[in-house]
Chains A and B, each alone.
Chain A
Amino acid sequence: AQSVTQLDSHVSVSEGTPVLLRCNYSSSYSPSLFWYVQHPNKGLQLLLKYTSAATLVKGINGFEAEFKKSETSFHLTKPSAHMSDAAEYFCVVRGGGGSGGSYIPTFGRGTSLIVHP
């Protein structure tokens, strides 16, 4: 079965400092991976996705993530945090079906990003 582990439930940074949100996954040899952001009382919005093209993926609002197959990781980074980045972030894995893992997108538990002025 596929799974996602977000290693930190909360990450606290100061405005202007780098952000690192960690995600490890378990799935097939060719999973699709996503990061979504959820602001309070809002729906989930796609930040970026990896679908077997370039391993370094750039998303919206300056975020990027790197797919590392050897480490089964897909960590989310941003060089400089902004107050508006404060939100809940979810890592999601979707396998290739059959022995390649479930087609059903599976969510991690989420990481709450706190940004201090």
Chain B
Amino acid sequence: EAGVAQSPRYKIIEKRQSVAFWCNPISGHATLYWYQQILGQGPKLLIQFQNNGVVDDSQLPKDRFSAERLKGVDSTLKIQPAKLEDSAVYLCASTGTNTGELFFGEGSRLTVL
């Protein structure tokens, strides 16, 4: 079974530029999460999708962050314009079980200069 795929693995941009991250969850997993992990901290939820609908985006900075999952499969997270404090690893996870076990991708590391 293929795992959660994320790209790119690494991205360096200057502040005020834009960036997009892509995630393809495990086949059949209806729930998809985007987490932000700042160095030295635990992952913080940005947004949760159930199929192609948003379940929770209360912690997504909507003035600069957007995310979509148009066909209920893969998802894109965009940041525009980026700020220095957006430097972090962006983790995508999916789950298809009632126990809530998350399956993570390897993450996309963003550095904003």
Binding site for B on A (CB under 8 A): 32, 34, 36, 41-46, 49, 51, 90, 92, 94, 103-110
Contact = CB atoms under 8 A, between A and B. Distances in A.
B41 A43 contact: no
Max chain A Cβ within 10 angstroms of own Cβ: one of B40, B42, B45, B93: B42
A91 to B, nearest CB: 9
A36 to B, nearest CB: 8
Interface residues of B, number: 22
Given A90-B42, A110-B41, A43 B104 contact: yes
Contacts of A103: 100
Contacts of B100: 32, 34, 94, 103, 105
A45 B105 CA distance: 9
Contact of A43 (B45, B48, B91): B91
Contacts of B105: 43
A104 B107 contact: no
5 nearest A-B pairs in the assembled complex, by CB-CB distance: A107-B42, A94-B100, A43-B106, A43-B104, A44-B104
B42 A42 contact: no
Nearest to A31: B100
A43 B40 CA distance: 15
Nearest to B95: A105
Contacts of B107: 43
A107 B106 contact: no
Contact of B99 (A36, A41, A51): A51
A5 B91 CA distance: 21
B48 A104 contact: yes
A104 B43 contact: no
Contacts of B48: 104
A109 B99 contact: no
B62 interface: no
A90 B101 contact: no
B14 interface: no
A103 B31 CA distance: 11
A34 B101 contact: yes
Interface in B59-113: 91, 93, 99-107
Contacts of A36: 102, 104
